[in-house]
Amino acid sequence: MIDSLVWLLLLPLAWATLAFVLGPGRGAWLAIAGLAAQFALAVDLARKVAAGGVAAHVVGGWGAPLGIDLAADGLSAAMLLLTQGVALPLAIHARAYFKAGDPAGVWFWPLLGFLLSGLNALFVSADLFNLYVTLELVGLAAVGLVAAGGGTQQVAAALRYLFATLLGSGAYLLGVALLYGAYGTVSSATLLPLVTAEAPRLVWIAAGLMVTGLLLKTALFPFHFWLPPAHGGAPAPVSALLSALVVKASFYLILRLWLGPLQALLPSFAWLLALLGAAAIFWGSWQAIRAVKVKRLIAYSTVAQLGYLFLIFPLLPAPGALQAGVMQVFAHGLAKAGMFAAAGVMIKATGQDTVAGLAGAVERLPVTFFAFGLAGMTLMGLPPSSGFLAKWQIIDAALAQGHWVIAVVALAGGLLAAVYVFRVLRQAFLQAPAPDTATAVPRTLEWTAFALAAASVLLGLRGVELMQLVTM
């Protein structure tokens, strides 16, 4: 029988290596075939987990404490599903986006594979040190993707991103080292009963270091400084991957620590994180509203949407809060991937990337702007989108516990999202003479963006299954 858990790690590694051996710019079909298989594996794993709880694998037959344990519960299975589900349409998009000989796409396929195998490994790692290694794998592959364009701005953004991500994982590693010094283990399951609220100060410092490092990698306000240049400057398919998946990996890790080994300590920081999340929503939205370039606007919107993820922490005692967080991860992942993909089409078609330059573009790119609008609907939280479901659950959990402030912030964030989404749409619907620089774009580019955005809306109709999976 095929062990989906293991093959989800091995497949991307295999096709990434093959794509590298094939040479610059090759390996697109290999990646798409591999991703299709991975998607099937992720669905299979989610089915198994939904039916029978946790799936586990002991690498090489060497169990903890010496070996590496892999385990997937409902949360892991959901994240794996999202990762393959976003990456597959984006790979089809990227094949059309990177024409043969485009310098930005030369090493895209191997880097994509390494990024995905790092992400998949992160979602199933069961010990804190292995999580560190996967975190670094994801970070290094992502930096490579940002630098792919090769221009001064991209290389500078990649370096800035690299230093931020190394600083973040360095702090996380020091925290792990202190925890090992205190308890002599890094296994999440073994640490769980050992770490109590009466833990020595050293353990509190360790927890603080780990969470701060991860916040830096998740780009929570005020650690978001590296995100807009990195996500706004990279080629559109890369921006989509980074915004939809990579920042979610470190958020997932915070959530894991919160629900797992550090659950006795971290709730003391819940309101601090929620406060930073609220600040991120307002600051990110404000910057998106006044951004000149389309991709900067979307990158700042990511800063804002990440803020929602941190609103759930004071609510976590309630059962709905975790589901709301995961729903927001899915909603933003799908919508933002679709939005960046759509922005890539706009930039290719109009030859420049300012919001002002989109005047009248809706006539030439109706499908793309429909996709942008659908993704915007999810970001605003309009029913029946998955974004609506996420915000509704956050507000519901907040009101049930009497924290109406969180409900107000969530509602205000939705209104601000409407402002920046309609800024783009309004410009697109203006009457403008057709410019001479317009270029035709392949249909595949438009329809993959549309598929992602539509999925973010339609997920709202099938949200119950996802929420059941998360609680497994």
Partner 1 sequence: MTSGLLFALVGAALFALGVAGVVLIDHLLRRILAFNLMGSGAFLVLVGLAQRNGVPDPVPQAMVLTGIVVAVAATALALALTRKLHALTGRLELPEDADD
Would you tell me which residues interact with partner 1 (CB under 8 A)?
A: 65-66, 129, 132-133, 136, 140, 143-144, 147, 150-153, 155-160, 162-163, 166-167, 170-171, 173-174, 176-178, 180-182, 184, 186, 228-229, 232, 292-293, 296
> CB 300 → partner 1: shortest distance, Å?
10
> CB 157 → partner 1: shortest distance, Å?
8
> CB 65 → partner 1: shortest distance, Å?
7
128 vs 382, beta carbon nearer partner 1: 128
> CB 302 → partner 1: shortest distance, Å?
15
151 vs 383, beta carbon nearer partner 1: 151
What SS3 class is residue 293?
strand
> CB 228 → partner 1: shortest distance, Å?
7
Q: How far apart are CA 439 and CA 347, in angstroms?
A: 10
> CB 461 → partner 1: shortest distance, Å?
38
Q: Which DSSP symbol is given to 184?
A: S
181 vs 319, beta carbon nearer partner 1: 181
155 vs 192, beta carbon nearer partner 1: 155
> CB 134 → partner 1: shortest distance, Å?
10
> CB 151 → partner 1: shortest distance, Å?
8
What string of H, E and C letters represents the secondary structure of the chain?
Answer: CCCHHHHHHHHHHHHHHHHHHHCCCCCHHHHHHHHHHHHHHHHHHHHHHHHHCCEEEEHHHCCCCCCCEEEECHHHHHHHHHHHHHHHHHHHHHHHHCCCCCHHHCCHHHHHHHHHHHHHHHHHECEHHHHHHHHHHHHHHHHHHHHCCCCHHHHHHHHHHHHHHHHHHHHHHHHHHHHHHHHCCCEHHHHHHHCCCCCCHHHHHHHHHHHHHHHHHHCCCCCCCCHHHHHHHCCHHHHHHHHHHHHHHHHHHHHHHHHCCCCCCHHHHHHHHHHHHHHHHHHHHHHHHCCCEHHHHHHHHHHHHHHHHHHCHHHCCCHHHHHHHHHHHHHHHHHHHHHHHHHHHHHHHHCCCECHHHCCHHHCCHHHHHHHHHHHHHHHCCCCCHHHHHHHHHHHHHHHCCCHHHHHHHHHHHHHHHHHHHHHHHHHHCCCCCCCCCCCCCHHHHHHHHHHHHHHHHHHHHHHHHHHHHCC
206 vs 374, beta carbon nearer partner 1: 206
147 vs 406, beta carbon nearer partner 1: 147
234 vs 377, beta carbon nearer partner 1: 234
94 vs 146, beta carbon nearer partner 1: 146
> CB 250 → partner 1: shortest distance, Å?
16
199 vs 331, beta carbon nearer partner 1: 199
